[in-house]
Amino acid sequence: MIYDKIYDFCKVRNTHGAYKNGIDEYSPRLKFIINTIDELNLNYEIIKFNDSIFKNNYFYNIYLKGNSDMMAIAHHDVYNPNCDNANDNSASIINCLLLKKLNPDINIAIIDGEEPPCFGIGSKRLASDIISKYFGKIKHVLNLELTGLGGNNFFIGKLGSRLENKIIKEFNPLVISVPFNDSMILMDKNIDSTVITSLPIINNIPDYSIMSRIHTKLDSIDSISINDMKIFTEKIALKILS
Ligand SMILES: [Zn+2]
């Protein structure tokens, strides 16, 4: 099962946080992602770009084109290079690659520069590539954030997108106000997008403690579940994007 890749991915340590990842060359995590895509025999293109604020650094988006008008995205950069970053956002990278394997028509973008202090450098670049029709017509973008634990249970960010309404009709999930995420950048550029996060339910109560673990050692491989990743990807995300 390719979801197992998460164990090796979480062992990979970048040497810097989000805004210095590309100083030398591909970061260790980026190399791991590229190797995994190669092993899966998927076609992709790596977009290397600069930002006027973080001048000495390069950023990298990875695009896997599909024939539909649906797209899934996940950010690959990390805030704290000294922890597993399992739920934020390693699990979502693996889940995105699995989505592509399960339905090759889905467009995928693995993007850089989400974490502080970058706040959406990769999604700004993605927005301009969507607008210039790199992927053809894109109707909805589903942004996977923290999709390593929770399985069938999830919430979506309250951003007022058409995709949000579509998901509410089909799944009736929790809809909550969320902190900064790449969907906000896309919505600003008139690209319809929703952020989705898996949410464990314990004794009928949503366990929001997943949010407080991010960027710390508590966001470890032991704190997520590959079975939940599989359920989320195949029962929820795949349906939303089909
Ligand atoms: Zn994140």
3-state DSSP assignment of residue 22:
coil
Mean pLDDT of 80-103: 98
Residues 6+ apart with CB under 8 A from 183: 141, 143, 157, 159, 161, 193, 194, 195
Q: What is the pLDDT of residues 133-190, one digit of tens each?
A: 999 999 999 999 999 999 999 999 999 999 999 999 999 999 999 999 999 999 999 9
Mean pLDDT of 115-124: 96
- Specify the pLDDT at position 147: 98
Q: What is the pLDDT of residues 190-234, one digit of tens each?
A: 999 999 999 999 999 999 999 999 999 999 999 999 999 999 999
* Domain 2-241 is found in CATH 3.40.50.2000: no
User: What separation in Å is there between the alpha carbon of 80 and the centre of ligand 1?
Assistant: 11
User: What separation in Å is there between the alpha carbon of 222 and the centre of ligand 1?
Assistant: 18
What CA–CA distances, in Å, run from 223 to 16, 42, 151, 231?
23, 29, 13, 16
User: What separation in Å is there between the alpha carbon of 23 and the centre of ligand 1?
Assistant: 21
- Specify the pLDDT at position 1: 65
Average pLDDT over the chain, rounded to an integer: 96
- Specify the pLDDT at position 25: 86
Alpha helices in the chain (DSSP H): 5-11, 28-39, 91-102, 121-131, 162-171, 182-188, 209-213, 226-231, 238-241
User: What separation in Å is there between the alpha carbon of 146 and the centre of ligand 1?
Assistant: 7
- Specify the pLDDT at position 235: 98
Please tell me the total number of residues recorded for the chain in this structure: 242
User: What separation in Å is there between the alpha carbon of 74 and the centre of ligand 1?
Assistant: 8
- With 0.85 as the threshold, say if the pTM is over it: yes
User: What separation in Å is there between the alpha carbon of 233 and the centre of ligand 1?
Assistant: 17
